[in-house]
Amino acid sequence: MRARWTSAIFAAVTTLLAGQAACAPKDSDDKAIWFGKADHAMNASVDEARATLPIFWKHLEQDREVRHFLIKVAFPTSHGGVEHLWIGLTSTDEKALHGEILNEPEDVPNVHAGQPYEITEPSKISDWSYEKAGKFYGQFTTRAMLKAMDEKGRAEQLEVLAPTPLEPGDR
C-alpha cells in the first residue's frame, strides 16, 4: 500500500498569497509523489508534525503576524491507500477546524479542490503549516519530499519554506 503526498503546496500558496479563493487546479505543478507505507523519512516527518501540533495551535490562537494556516489530512483512496491533502483553514470553533481543500486529489472519490472540509479528529492531521514574513513554517512532509522532487520543484519549495520547520524559540 502506498500513500500519495502532495509534492508542492506552491501553486496553492501562490494562489492564496495573491488573495484569490481558488485552489491548486488539477493541471497545476502540484504533482503527487507516492511513498511506501513503511517509508522511514516520511513517517518520521508525520510523527514530528504531530508532536509539534501544540506549537501550531499556539500560533493559530495567539500569533497575529501569521497568515495562511494549513493542515494536511489523510484521505482513504479508492485503492486501499491514503492520499494526503492540504486544507486551508478558514475558521475554528470548540468542535472543529473548518477549511477548504487546496489540492485536487488523484484517487479520492467525491473530494475536490475548493470544497469545504471540517476536521473533528486531530489524529487525522499529518502535517501543518503557516506563513509568517513570507516564509512557511511546518511543512514537515514537504521537507521530507525535497529529495524526491525534480530540481525546479525543489527550488520552488526552498524559496517559500522557512529555513527550519519551527520558529526560533518554539519547542
Q: Would residue 167 count as lying in a domain? A: no
Beta strands per DSSP E along 11-145? 32-36, 67-76, 82-92, 97-101, 116-119, 125-132, 135-138
Q: Would residue 59 count as lying in a domain? A: yes
Q: Would residue 165 count as lying in a domain? A: no
Query: Alpha-carbon distance 88 to 20, whole Å?
Result: 12
Q: Tell me how far CA of residue 156 lies from CA of 17, 60, 75, in angstroms.
A: 15, 25, 26
Number of domains in the chain: 1
Q: For residue 106, what are the contacts with CB-CB under 8 A and spacing of at least 6? A: 4, 32, 83
- Return the pLDDT at 48: 97
How many helices and strands, by DSSP H and E, does the chain display?
5, 8
Q: Would residue 113 count as lying in a domain? A: yes
Pairing of strands 135-138, 125-132: antiparallel
Contact 7, 148 (CB under 8 A): yes
- Return the pLDDT at 36: 79
Which residues span the domain enclosing 102? 2-160
Q: Would residue 166 count as lying in a domain? A: no
Residue ranges in 18-170 assigned as alpha helix (H):
40-51, 53-62, 140-145, 151-160
Question: pLDDT averaged over consecutive 10-residue blocks of the chain (171 residues)?
Answer: 43 31 36 76 94 95 89 91 93 93 92 95 93 95 92 94 95 78
- Return the pLDDT at 1: 42
